[in-house]
Structure 1
Amino acid sequence: MQFTIKNMTEKYAIEVLCWKYERPYNFYNQVLTSHAIMELTGKKYYTVFDRYDVLVGFFCVGAPAQVPAGYPYGAYKEDCVDIGLGMKPAFTGRGLGLLFFSAILDFVSESHVGLDIRLTVATFNKRAIRLYEKAGFVQQAKFQSEQTEFITMLKRSHC
């Protein structure tokens, strides 16, 4: 499957903010507010479309991908490019994860040559952790927020 990556727009920010995931992934559900729209359109957020121009997911790069609760634990002390991502609920669990994630990794690697890539994931999200490990990520720091436990995962650059 071929994917196209575009900058986030207000239209797609609203769509993303309205996605609803089933338990236990409902942890990732967001609330549609003007502040949330500004966050998604004013920072380094991108959309991912399939070959039919259907929105499949989104991702962000840099500080927006970090979980602030990890700062006191030193989870982000290494110089890396952080990514965060979400797939449209209708597409999850259908075997598209690796292709979707690979498209994001290719995009990020091309624009951040030589930097290791790091992501943060809730420890209960075993499905995502398996996907990230398949893509070559290894678990690093573990930390607790008020709501859940997280781990950072790292993929070393080959440059």
Structure 2
Amino acid sequence: MQFQFHPLTRKEATELISWRYDRPLDIYNIKVDTDSLQNTVDFFVDPKNSYFAISSDLHEFTAFCCIGADAQVPGGDYSLDALDIGLGIRPELTSQGLGSPIAIATIDYAKQSFSPQRLRVTIAAFNFRALKVWQNLAFLPVQRFRKQNGGNEYLVFIRNT
């Protein structure tokens, strides 16, 4: 399967905001009220925030990734120089074996576009499927922390490019 990356469009950002995951993955649901909808869309399409749509032959808007500081979770130690990657798959396409192929494509895209020495991902400790995907791609755990304000526990993984 081939994947293509491009900056999120306004249409895709609006669609992304409407994605709804079941528990326990509902922590990834974007909570927006009608008053802040436009600001949220503006944030996702602002090039400085580095959000990208991922399309495939399976679905026009299969997943998204963010590259850089917005992929970090408050409370973690991100002092080591590495490029952060965040990834989200369309809810109805989860549990279909797409995690690894999309993660591999995202790694390749990040390496080609940003030429980092290291890549880093931060994953909720309960998200066993995502943990397995990234560990199978040679990412090694370097940190465990609880999100600021008593939130969920997260693991940080790093891999040299």
> With structure 2 as the length reference, what TM-score do the two structures score?
0.90
Residue 35 (str. 1) matches residue 42 (str. 2): no
- Listed as ranges, the matches of 1:12-23 within 5 Å are 12-23=12-23
Q: CA deviation at 1:39?
A: 1.9
Counterpart for residue 50 of structure 2: 44
User: Aligned residues: percent identity?
Assistant: 31
Q: Secondary structure at the match of 1:68?
A: coil
Query: How far apart in 2 are the matches of 1:49 and 1:21?
Result: 19
Query: How far apart in 2 are the matches of 1:114 and 1:9?
Result: 25
Query: How far apart in 1 are the matches of 2:56 and 2:88?
Result: 14
**2:128 maps to which of 126, 129, 132:** 126
Q: In the alignment, residue 4 of structure 1 is paired with which amino acid?
A: Q
Structure 1's 25 and 114: CA in aligned 2 closer, same or farther, altered over 3 A? closer
Counterpart for residue 77 of structure 1: 79
Counterpart for residue 60 of structure 2: 54
Q: In the alignment, residue 85 of structure 1 is paired with which amino acid?
A: L
Counterpart for residue 102 of structure 2: 100
Counterpart for residue 5 of structure 1: 5
Q: In the alignment, residue 91 of structure 1 is paired with which amino acid?
A: L
User: 5+ residue gaps in structure 2?
Assistant: none
> With structure 1 as the length reference, what TM-score do the two structures score?
0.91
Q: CA RMSD in A?
A: 1.2
- State the aligned residue count: 153
Q: CA deviation at 1:69?
A: 1.8
8 Å CA contact 2:66–2:85 kept in 1: the answer is yes
